[in-house]
Chain A
Amino acid sequence: MNANLPELIVIIPLIGAFLITLAATVHGKLCFPLAAAILTGALVSAVGLLGRVLAEGVVEYHLAGWRPPWGIGYRVDPLNGLVLVVVAAVALINLLGTRPLVEKDFGDRLGPFYTLYVLFVTGLMGIVVTGDAFNLYVLLEIAAITGYALIGMGNPQRAPLAGLNYIFMGTIGASLYLLGVGYIYLVTGTLNMMDIAARLPALAGSRLVMTAFIFCIAGLCLKMGFFPLHAWLPNAYSHAPAAVSSLIAPLMTKVMVYVMIRIMLTVFDPGFTFGTMGVSRGMVWLAVAAILGGSILALGTRHLKRMLTYIIVAEVGYMVGGFWLGNRAGISGAALHIVNDAAMTLCVFLAAGTFFYKIGGESIDDLQGLFRKMPVSMAAFAVGGLSIIGVPPTCGFFSKWYLISGGLAAGQYAFVGALLFSSLVNLALFFRIFEIAFFEPFQEHHGAHGAPAGTARQEAPLQMLVPLVLTALGLVALGLYSGDMVSRLIEHAIPAGIV
C-alpha cells in the first residue's frame, strides 16, 4: 500500500471519476459524498507520500514495473510532495465549501460536474507527480480539457466564449510545450526527465536544445497566464461558475509555475537555465511588468472576481520573477508562494462564492453592509485580503519576504519596487472593498439604534462557512510554519549549486 502511494495519488481520482459517472445514473445525491471520499483518499495518500519523502528522501516509482527510460517513472521530491498536498487539500476544501453553490447551479448535472471536477484534480496530481516529459503533456491536457469544460458550464452569456478563448490559448501553449519536448527527444532520444537531465549537459551549446528551451518556456508562460500572455485568464476565471473559479484559480496557474520550476531546474541544468540562455534578466523584467500590469488592471475593475483574477496575474509575476532571480532566496520565495498563493487565492475566491451565494451580485458595490450581514465570511475574506497585501503573520508576508530579499541579493531593485508597489495597490484594492462593506449604506451615528434597513444578519450556511474559516485560519498557520516549510522541504528541492 505504502509502496504504491505515488500511483494511488493518480489512480484513486482517475477511477473515482468514472465511479461518479456510474453513481450519477443511480442517484445524483451519491455524487458529492463519493467525490468527497475520493478526494479525501487522494489527500491522505498525498500526505502519506510527503511523510515518506521526509523520512526517506526522493521516492521513485515505475508504473507497471517498467524501468525508465522505457516506462513512465513517477518521481517525488520534497517540492512536488508539498505541491501534491496543496493540490489535494485545496480541491477537497473547495469541494466541501461549495456544495450549496453547486447544487444551486448544477442540480440536474451533478454527475458530469463532479466527474469533471475529480478528473481535473487527477490531471493536476499527475502533472505534479510525473517524471516523464511527454506524460506531463498528456496530463496537462487532461487538466486543461476538463478545465475548459468546467469553465464553459458557467454563466451562458459569457462563459462559453471565455472558455473557447481559453481553449485556443491553452492549446497553443500545450502545442508549444509539446514541440519543445519533441526537440528534446530529437537530441537526447529519451523522455524521462532524469534521463534527459543526464544527457543534456553534453549538448549545452546545441541550438536545438536552446530552441527546445524557448518552446517549453513560451508554452508554459501561456499556460500560466504570464504577462503579456495573460489575456485569456481574467475572462475565463471570472465568468466560470463560482465553485469552479475557486478550484481553478488557486490551482492551475500555481501548478504551471511548479512545472516551470521542475523543467528549468530538473530537466535543464540550472547553469544552463540561468547562465547559458541569458534570459533571466528579461524574464524578471517581464515579471515586473506582470506585477505592475496586473495591479493596475485590478484597480480598474469593480467586478469582484475579475479584480481577484488580475491579482492572480500579478501573483504569477511574483513567482516567475522570484524564480528567475536565480538565487536561493528568490527560488525559495517562488516555491513557497506556490503554496501560499494557492491558499490565499482559495480563501478569497471561496469568500467571493459565499457572497455570490447569498447576495447574487458580483460587483464590489453589491457588498454594502456585508460586515454586518455576513460578519464571519467577511472576516475570512479580510484575512485572505490581508495575506495578499502581505501583513504578518499571514503567509503572504513570508513569501514576499523571501522574494524581496532575493531581489535585493540579486540587485534587481525594479523587482523589489514592483513587489512593494503591488503590496500598496493590494492594500488599496482590499480596503476599497472593506470600506464599502463597512461604511455603506451610510448611517447617522449619534443615537442610531440598531442596524440600518436591509442589513439584517444573513450569514451563509455552515457547510460553506466552516471550510472558509478553516482556510482563513490556515493562512495564519501557514505563515507561522513557513520557516519549517522552507527549511525542511523547499531547501532540499533546490539544487546545491544555487546560492
Chain B
Amino acid sequence: MYDIVSVKPLVAVLISLLAVPAIVASRSPNLREAWTFLAAALKFAVVASMLPAVWRGAEIGCTVARVLPGVEIAFRVDAFGLMFALVASFLWIVTSAYSIGYMRGLNEHGQTRYFSFFAVSLSATVGVAFSANLFTLYLFYEMLSLATYPLVTHHQDQEARSSGRKYLLYTVGSSIGLVLPAMLVIYLLTGTLDFASRGILAGTTGSRTLVGVLLFMFVFGFAKAAVMPLHSWLPAAMVAPTPVSALLHAVAVVKVGVFSIVRTITGIFGTDVLSSLSLGEPVLYTAAVTILAGSFVALSQDNLKRMLAFSTIAQLSYIILGAALLTPKGVTGGMAHIAMHAFGKITLFFCAGAIFVATGKKNISEMAGIGRRMPVTMTAFFLGALSIIGMPPCGGFLSKWYLVQGSLQAGQMPILVVLLFSSLLNAAYFMPIVYRAFFCPPEQAAFAERLGEAPLFCVAPLVITALISVGLLFYPQPFFRLAMMAAQKVIGM
C-alpha cells in the first residue's frame, strides 16, 4: 500500500503535541522556550529525513487506526505534502525565535498557553500535509481551527472575542456545513476517501452538476483558503499577536486551506475528470475575482497588518488558480507558490511586528521615514515585497513565471491579464511604503534620526527569511523539484 512503511510521519505529527506537557510543566520561561526549540528542531529533522526517499519518488506512509469501514486515520508522505511540511516546520523554528523577541518585548500575558497552542497548531498543520485521505485531512483541519482559536483571541479583550467568533464561524462553520456533507457524498459515491494521484471520482456516475456542486463545497468549505466571499475572517484574525499572524495566517493555517483545496482537486476529483467536465474554469474565475478584489482592498488599507491580510487573500488564490488551470506548469506554479509566498509573506509580517515592538506603530500613514530608524527591517520588508510582487531577485518570480506559462498552456488569456495586472496592484500597495520609509523628506518623517531596531530575537528571523526569499530564486530546491514531482504525478508532463 505504501512504498515505505514507516512511523516517521506519525512521529513528525506527534512531536510538537508531545512537547505541550513539557511546555506547560516548565518552571522558567527559558526552559519552556528550550522545549519549543527542541520540538521544532526535532520536527524539522524528522520531516527533512524523509526528503531523500521522497526525492527518489517513493512514498512513505503508515496507518494508525481504522475508524470507519474503508476509512482510516493514515499518513502518506508524497512530494506535495513533504514540500508543505518542510516549509511549515522550518518556519516554526524561525517563528519560535521571533515569538520570544516579540512576546517578551511586549510583556504579553499567557505566554505558556501561547506556546502550547502554537505547538498543537503545528502538529495539525503537518498532519494535514501528511494525510493519506480526506478524512484524516478533515480531522487535522478541524484540530487546527480549534487550536488556533486561543491564539487568535490571545488578548482576551472585546475585540479578540468578536474576531474569534468570526474566525470560528467561518472556518468551523464552513467545514461542518460544506466539507463534511461533501465528504460524505464522495464516500457514498466511491466507498473510499483515499487520495489517489489521478482522483477517485473517475468512473462514478456523477453528473456535471453534482461534481460541480461538490467541487465548490470544497473550494468554499475550506474557508481557511479565504476564497471570497468567505475571506473576512482573515483580516479579523489580525488581532492576534504578530507571530501568530506571521506563521499561522500567512503560512500554516491559510496554506492548509489552499493545500486542502489543491489536494481535493487533484487527489479526489482528479485533473482528468475536471478537465473533461470543464469544471476548472469556474474555479479559475472564482480565484481570479478573489485575486483582483483582494488586491484592490489591500490598496485602501492603512493598518499594515490588515493590508498584509488582504494581500494574503489575493496571493492564496494564486495557488488555487494554479491548480485550477489543470495544466502541468500551472499546477507546478501553484504548488511552488505555497513555499515562495510563505517566505516572502512571513518576512513582511515579521517586519510589521518588529515595527510595532520597536515603535508601537500599526498604521502605514505613521511610518514615513521609518527606514532611517530601522534600516535592516525595512530592507527585509523591501525584499519580501519584491517576492510577493513576483520580481527578481526573489523566489516569488519563479512561481509566478510558471503560473503565467501555465495560463498560456491553458490558453486562458484573461487569466494572464489578471496575473499581470495583479502584480501591478501588488507593486502599487507595497512600493509606496518602502519609498516613504527611506526617501520621505526629513520634515515629514515621523521619527528622529537615530537607529532603533527591534530586539535581536525579532530582527534575526526576519533577516533570515528575507535572505531565503532571495536565495530561492537562485536555488529553489528542494521546493521546486518537489512541486514539479507532485504536478507530474497528478497531471503528467
Contacts and interface: CB of A to CB of B under 8 A. Distances in A.
Interface of A: 386, 389-393, 398, 401, 404-405, 408-409, 416, 420, 423-424, 427, 431, 435, 438-439, 442-450, 479-484, 486-487
B187 A439 contact: no
B107 A446 contact: yes
B67 A482 contact: yes
Contacts of B154: 445
A386 B155 CA distance: 23
Nearest to A434: B149
A486 to B, nearest CB: 8
Nearest to B145: A391
Given A431-B165, A439-B156, A393 B67 contact: yes
B428 interface: no
A442 B138 contact: no
A405 B184 contact: yes
Contacts of A438: 150, 153, 156
B177 interface: yes
A487 B184 contact: no
Contacts of B153: 438-439
A305 to B, nearest CB: 24
Interface string B214-231: 000000000000000000
A449 B109 contact: yes
A408 B177 CA distance: 15
Interface string B78-111: 0000000000000000000000000000111100
Given A423-B176, A431-B168, A445-B109, A408 B185 contact: yes
Contacts of B358: none
Interface in B171-197: 172-173, 176-177, 180-181, 184-185, 187-188
A454 to B, nearest CB: 15
A390 B146 CA distance: 12
A420 B177 CA distance: 6
Enumerate the 5 nearest inter-chain pairs by beta-carbon distance, A residue then B residue, closest first.
A445-B155, A392-B139, A483-B67, A483-B66, A439-B161
A386 B108 CA distance: 28
Q: Give the size range of B's interface with the partner.
A: 35 or more
Given A431-B165, A439-B160, A480-B65, A405 B173 contact: no
18 contacts: A404-B180, A405-B184, A408-B181, A408-B184, A420-B176, A424-B176, A427-B168, A427-B176, A435-B164, A438-B150, A438-B156, A439-B158, A442-B157, A445-B108, A445-B154, A445-B155, A447-B106, A483-B66
Contacts of B143: 391
Contacts of B158: 439, 442
Given A439-B157, A487-B69, A416 B181 contact: yes
B68 interface: yes
SS of B interface (majority): helix
Given A401-B68, A445-B155, A393 B73 contact: yes
B281 interface: no
Nearest to A441: B156
Contacts of A391: 142-143, 146
Nearest to B65: A480
Given A391-B142, A427-B173, 5 more contacts: A420-B180, A438-B150, A439-B161, A479-B67, A483-B71
- Of listed B108, B146, B177, B180, residue having the most chain A CB within 10 A: B180
Interface of B: 65-69, 71, 73, 106-109, 135, 138-139, 142-143, 146, 150, 153-158, 160-161, 164-165, 168, 172-173, 176-177, 180-181, 184-185, 187-188
A446 B65 contact: no
A408 B65 contact: no
Nearest to B150: A438
Contacts of A479: 67
- Of listed B65, B67, B154, B172, residue having the most chain A CB within 10 A: B67
Nearest to A400: B180
Nearest to B161: A439
Contacts of B68: 398, 401, 482-483, 486
A272 B185 CA distance: 30
Contacts of A423: 176, 180
Contact of B181 (A386, A420, A424, A446): A420
A401 B184 contact: yes
A424 B169 CA distance: 9
A445 B156 CA distance: 7
B70 to A, nearest CB: 10
Nearest to A444: B157
Contacts of B157: 439, 442-445
Nearest to A432: B165
B107 A443 contact: no
Nearest to B173: A424
Contacts of B65: 480-481, 483
Given A435-B161, A438-B150, A438-B156, A483 B69 contact: yes
A446 B106 contact: yes
B134 to A, nearest CB: 12
B146 A386 contact: yes
Contacts of A405: 184, 187-188
Contacts of B109: 443, 445, 448-450
Contact of A404 (B164, B177, B184): B184
B103 to A, nearest CB: 11
A486 B66 CA distance: 11
Contacts of A449: 107, 109
Contacts of B142: 391-392
Given A442-B158, A445-B156, A393 B139 contact: yes
A49 to B, nearest CB: 26
- Of listed B73, B139, B142, residue having the most chain A CB within 10 A: B142
A373 to B, nearest CB: 14
Nearest to A484: B66
